[in-house]
Amino acid sequence: MAFPYKPKPNHSIQKKFFLGGGICGLIILAIFVIYTAFPSPTVFDDHSIMVDPTVEKQSLFTIARVTIQNTGTSQLTNLTINYGDNDIDSIGTLDPGKTIILSPPQGNSLQYVIVTADGDVHIFKAYREPVAMPGMMGS
């Protein structure tokens, strides 16, 4: 007595489809993580500025800083940093390629930063918490 012939199902197309979808998903996830983890400059005609407010919460204290870099070709004038809670720093000018690092005043709520300058530069950014690296303080 012979058993009837039953062809084996061809799962190779399904495997290729799911493998390709998984790879595409990982690529999209990697692009999203890189885009959100690293700040990028904001361009306003001749003015380009990078604003990166960070807050690192340690067990005993909190480190907060705002990095501002003029990535454009023109000087930024009337540069003002508003930390919220009525805490404002007026810097004046920032030459092309220069970077400044500022600390918000003690007791600030550390919610957001608004940076303005001549040339219709107006940037609103929330503080971000950098990824803790193993072996580093606070991780």
Q: What are phi and psi of 60, to 5 degrees?
A: -105, -20
Q: In the structure encoding, which two tokens stand for residue 75, read together?
A: 């000087």
Give the closest residue to 72 by CA, choosing from 106, 21, 121, 105.
121
Output the average pLDDT for the chain: 84
Q: What average pLDDT does this structure show over 85-93?
A: 92
Residue 10 is predicted with a pLDDT of 67
113 burial via Cβ count (<10 Å: 0-12, 13-18, 19+): buried
Residue 7 has pLDDT above 90, yes or no: no
Q: How far apart are CA 52 and CA 69, in angstroms?
A: 9
Residue 43 is predicted with a pLDDT of 57
Work out the percent of the chain whose per-residue pLDDT is above 90.
44
- Which CATH topology does 42-126 take? Immunoglobulin-like (2.60.40)
Q: How far apart are CA 113 and CA 122, in angstroms?
A: 10
Domain segments of the chain as ranges: 42-126
Summarised one tens digit per residue, pLDDT across range 29-68 is: 888 887 777 666 665 557 788 999 999 888 788 889 999 9
Judged by DSSP in three states, 75 sits in: coil
Residue 52 is predicted with a pLDDT of 94
Give the closest residue to 99 by CA, choosing from 35, 46, 64, 49.
49
Task: Enter the pTM of the model.
Answer: 0.65
Pick 51 or 1 by higher pLDDT: 51
